[in-house]
Amino acid sequence: MLISFQAILPLFLMIALGYVAKRTVFDINMLPGLNQFVYFLAVPALLFNAASKASIDNLINGPALAAFFVGVALTGMVVVLASRVLFKANNAEQLVLRALNGTFANYAYMGIPLTFAIFGDKAYAATVSIILAGNIFLIGGAQLLIESIRQKEVGFKPMLSILDRSLLRNPIFISTLLGLFCSYHSLIMPGSVQTLLDMLAPAAVPVALFCLGASLKFAKTSIPFSELGWMIVVKLAIHPALTLVTFWLLNVNDPIWMATTVLLTALPTGALAHVVALKYDVFEKETSQIVVITTVVSLLSVTLWMSWLQ
C-alpha cells in the first residue's frame, strides 16, 4: 500500500502546485498556450517513444484487448444511461464527455510508474498497449463523436471531413501511428531528433497536471454533487470491476494482462479528458473537477485495488 501511495502523491502535488501558482504568480492567460504545448508536442512525443520502442507482436493480445474494450463499452453505456435517466442530461456532446470521464483513465501519467512498481518489466507490453488503445480509441473516438454531432451534413464527404478533423489531424493519433510504423520497420530516428523527443516526452506529465491544477475552479458547476459522486464511483470502482468481470466472462487467462488492465482502468480520470473538454469548450469545468477529485480519492481506492491485485 505504501508503494502505491508514494506513486500517486507527487501527481496530486503537481496539480496542487498549478492551483497555487494560478492564485499567486501564474498568468492564467498563459494556460491555453501551455495546453497546446501538451496536446501538440509533449504528449505526442511521449506516445511516439512508447510505440516506436515496443515490439508490435508483444503489444497485440487480442482476447485481453477485447476484454478491455468490452469493459469500456459497458461502462460508457452505464454512464450515458444513468446521465439520461437519473440526472436528466440530454446534451449529446456533454454525454460524450461524461462517458469519456467515466472510461478514460490516467493510463500514461500514473499507470506506467504503478504497473512497473508492482509487476516489473513483464507488465510493459500490457501497459503500453492499453495506453495506446486508450489514447487512440477513447480520446480519438470522443473527438470523432463530437465532430460528428457538430457536422450538419451527412454523406461520404462530410464523414471524410470528420475523420480529417478528429483523427487525421489529431497529433495523438498521428504520433502513435508513426511510432508503430517505426517499430514495425525497425526504423531509428536520427540522433538529434530522438534527443528532441526525449526532451519533450517527460514534460507531458508535469505540464498537463500543472495546467489541470491551474484551470481548477471550485465554484459551483452545472453538475450536481450527486452526479459528481456517481462519476467518482463509476471511474474508480465500477469501471475496473466491469473490466475484471469481462476478463472472467471471456475466459482470458493471462494473469499479468488481467491484473495490469484492471489496475489501469482503476486509475482516476486522465488529464487528457480535460484537454479534450478545453479544445471543444464542452463540460470543461465539470471535467476539471472530476479529474482532480478522482485523483484525490484514488489515493485510497487505487491503493486498495493494487493491494488486492497483488
CB-CB contact of 64 with 257 (8 Å): yes
CATH classification (class only), 7-309: mainly alpha
CA contacts within 13 A on the Cβ side of 121: 1
Closest CA to 309 of 242, 256, 259: 259
**pLDDT band at residue 84 under the 50/70/90 scheme:** very high
**pLDDT band at residue 154 under the 50/70/90 scheme:** low
- pLDDT over 70 (residue 166): no
Closest CA to 242 of 268, 260, 266: 266
CB-CB contact of 166 with 140 (8 Å): yes
Query: Looking up cell 492564467, which residue turns up?
Result: 28
- pLDDT over 70 (residue 226): yes
CB-CB contact of 100 with 134 (8 Å): no
- pLDDT over 90 (residue 56): no
Mean pLDDT computed over 81-106: 94
Question: pLDDT tens-digit profile of 132-145?
Answer: 888 888 988 898 88
CB-CB contact of 176 with 47 (8 Å): yes
What's phi and psi for 120, nearest 5 deg? 75, -160
Single-letter amino acid, residue 202: P
DSSP per residue, 202-219: GGHHHHHHHHHHHH---S
User: Quick count: other Cβ atoms within 10 Å of Cβ 37?
Assistant: 17
Mean pLDDT computed over 112-119: 77
- pLDDT over 90 (residue 55): no
225 burial class (0-12, 13-18, 19+ CB within 10 angstroms)? Answer: exposed
**Coil, helix or strand at residue 269:** strand
pLDDT value at residue 1: 61
Per mean pLDDT, which range of 71-80, 108-117, 120-129, 182-191 is the poorest?
A: 108-117
State which of 108-112, 146-150, 154-158, 188-192 shows the largest mean pLDDT.
188-192
Non-local CB neighbours of 254 within 8 Å, separated by 6+ positions:
61, 63, 64
Mean pLDDT computed over 35-51: 87
**Coil, helix or strand at residue 105:** strand
Per mean pLDDT, which range of 65-69, 147-151, 177-181 is the poorest?
A: 147-151
DSSP letter, residue 108? I
CA contacts within 13 A on the Cβ side of 168: 7
Single-letter amino acid, residue 248: W
- Facing residues of 105 across strands? 269
- pLDDT over 60 (residue 44): yes
Domain residue ranges of the chain, discontinuous segments joined by +: 7-309
Query: Looking up cell 507527487, which residue turns up?
Result: 10
pLDDT value at residue 149: 87
